Structure formats: structure tokens, C-alpha cells
Amino acid sequence: MINWGILGTSFISGVMADAIAGVPGHQVYGVAGRSSANLAAFCQQHPTKHVFNDYAQIIADPEVDVIYIALPNHVHHEYILQAARAGKAILCEKSLSVDMEKTQIALAAIKEHKVFFLEGLMYLHHPLITELVAQLKSGVVGEVRSITARYGADIVKFVNPDSRGAIYNLGCYPASLIHLVMQLSYGEMANRYQIAANGRRGADTNIVETSALLTWPGLAVAHLHCVEDYGMFWDFSIQGSAGTLRIESNPWLPEVQGNVITVKPYEQPAQRIEISAEGDAFYYQVQAVGNALMQKQLEAKRPAVGLQDSLEIMQLLTEWESQALNFSDNFCH
């Protein structure tokens, strides 16, 4: 039995608690929080044997195998450090951090203490993404030339202002999927991009909406967009030299049923591919952690993110934010 310790009592903590309980061989050993009322409400919905008022106590508990960090982005690195020093396997919610300095500190601690680490881009573990990878490798779209990736959700009233806005809360999803597609298509060239972005600040001064254009000179372009102060929508499509591919369902919240990819070679009929699954993305993420621990791996395998992938995605996110902030400062004030 793999025992999980959950840091935080947010909505996503509850989602993960349900996912852990639904995977054989895994259980929620305990949850830690700083609010007694929130802990009581969490445990009423997700019963667990052990409740902690101190994050350090659950991290130090010898019965805990995996620490799941479900706290705001800006403190992720603090608890990655603590968990790594305690020798725990770590699943940390996306985004890994909010700047490259904290990212480097966290990754260095993971490597130093030789612990398993996974950033919680849960959708990458789902069969929907396995099918996407298979379609790309089949050559149905030819060489990738253009990608469109957009994600929005009205979450601004729920997020911690210190988590630094839409790019780190939502933009990490389309950015990480673009990163995967370009890596599969062009290898190391995937990191040789130019970026230009605009941005709109919200009431907390963070970027609440932004679009970016990524260019790989002579290879491809990608259009990124995320927003966190109006309704949910998604859009992901690839245009290649031989055809197009579109994920019709939500690429970043795949479920048991209803997952659909459409591929269309140019001048030919479209093919609709429906992908069934045993569970949602969180279910498969828990499975991935368990499989890695059973095989004594320190990282998950692609299409999930390894340490280098997380580093490269954070580099993209921080560059995107810098461009968006500069635009906002220069043109919107």
C-alpha cells in the first residue's frame, strides 16, 4: 500500500484524494492544513485516518510514502525542499514555481536527495495524450507547422494572488502541450524559439489574460492564449504539411468517456477518434506515481514530464510572463 500525505485542503486536494482512493494499492494516509475548519470540512468529504495542523509533521511521518503538494504556486519550492530532505517521493501541483530561481532551487534539492518527483500536469498521463502522440508519430499531419492552444476558465476569484496569475494557473496547460508536440517533432530544436506576448492585468496586478506567439524560425509557429476571468473554453489544433489534428474535447481535463481527436489529411475526409479510459486524468496520474515507485524510477516517462521538461516549461512560462508584463506596462498604462 502506497501512503499519500496531502498538503493543503483546497478543491484540487479533494479531487486528488478521490483519485488516490480510486486506485488499488493507494490510500490517503493523512492531510495537513493550517485551518481547523477547513481540515474538518475536508475530512468530512474525504475521510482520512490522520490529520495534521503542521505541514512539517506530515512530511516527517515515516508512514508517508508520497507527499502531494497542493499549495499555491509561490510556496511549492519550500515544501519540495522539505519533502526531498525527508526522502519522500513528491507530486507537486503545477506550476512548479513562479520564477526560475525557485525552480532551480527545487530541482537541485530533488537531484541531491535522489527522490522521485513529478509535476502535476495530470492530463499528460491520460490515454487521450497517448493517442495524440501515436497520431503524430504516424505521420498523419506530416511535419508540424502551426499549433493553436487556448485555455480559459473563470477562476480569478479563487486563486491566490501570490500564485502570479493566469500564465501559471492555466497557461501551463497549453504551454506544456505545445512543448510536448514540438519536442516530439523537432527534438532539441523545440527550445530554440522566439516569443512575443501581450497581456492584461487584473485587479491584483497579475496577468489575467494574455496571448503569445512562439516562433521556431524556418520550422513552426504556435499561438498561445489563456485567461482566468471569464468562462471556460479550450482549443487545441495542429496544422502540418500533410494534414490537421484537433482535440475536440477538453485536452487538459480528459475524462473516462467523451475524449475525441479529429484528424484530417488535406483533401480527404476527417477521421473521428474516440478514446475511452478507465478513469480521468487524476486517476492515471496516481497510477503513474505508483508505477514509477514500483520500478524504482525517479522520474516519469514521456509523455509525462521529467525534471528537464519541467525546467524547460518553467522557462517558457517565465519568459511569457515577462513579455506580457512588459506589454501591459508599456501599452496599457
Confidence of residue 151 (pLDDT cuts 50, 70, 90): very high
Tens of pLDDT, residue by residue over 253-302, are: 999 999 999 999 999 999 999 999 999 999 999 999 999 999 999 999 99
pLDDT at res. 19: 98
Query: In 33-99, which ranges are E strands?
Result: 50-52, 66-69, 89-93
∠257-48-40 over CA atoms, to 5°? 100
Distance, in Å, from the CA atom of 55 to the CA atom of 138, rounded to the nearest integer, reads 47
Provide the 10 A C-beta neighbour count for residue 276. 11
pLDDT at res. 140: 97
pLDDT at res. 331: 76
pLDDT at res. 333: 53
Tens of pLDDT, residue by residue over 51-82, are: 999 999 999 999 999 999 999 999 999 999 99
Tens of pLDDT, residue by residue over 191-240, are: 999 999 999 999 999 999 999 999 999 999 999 999 999 999 999 999 99
Q: Length of the chain in residues, anyone?
A: 333
Distance, in Å, from the CA atom of 122 to the CA atom of 283, rounded to the nearest integer, reads 9
Tens of pLDDT, residue by residue over 85-131, are: 999 999 999 999 999 999 999 999 999 999 999 999 999 999 999 99
Confidence of residue 330 (pLDDT cuts 50, 70, 90): confident
136, three cell numbers: 503524430
| 332 has pLDDT over 70 | no
For the chain, which domains are there?
2-122 (3.40.50.720), 124-282+313-331 (3.30.360.10)
Measuring CA to CA, how many Å separate 323 from each of 196, 197, 314? 6, 5, 14
Measuring CA to CA, how many Å separate 159 from each of 12, 72, 163, 226? 12, 8, 7, 15
- Greatest Cα pair distance, the chain, in angstroms, is 62
The answer to whether 88 and 66 are in contact (CB under 8 A) is: yes
Distance, in Å, from the CA atom of 309 to the CA atom of 314, rounded to the nearest integer, reads 9
Distance, in Å, from the CA atom of 158 to the CA atom of 170, rounded to the nearest integer, reads 13
Distance, in Å, from the CA atom of 19 to the CA atom of 26, rounded to the nearest integer, reads 9
Distance, in Å, from the CA atom of 95 to the CA atom of 234, rounded to the nearest integer, reads 19
The answer to whether 43 and 16 are in contact (CB under 8 A) is: no
The answer to whether 129 and 273 are in contact (CB under 8 A) is: no
- Helices (H), ranges, the chain: 11-21, 36-45, 55-60, 76-85, 100-113, 127-138, 166, 172-186, 281-294, 307-331
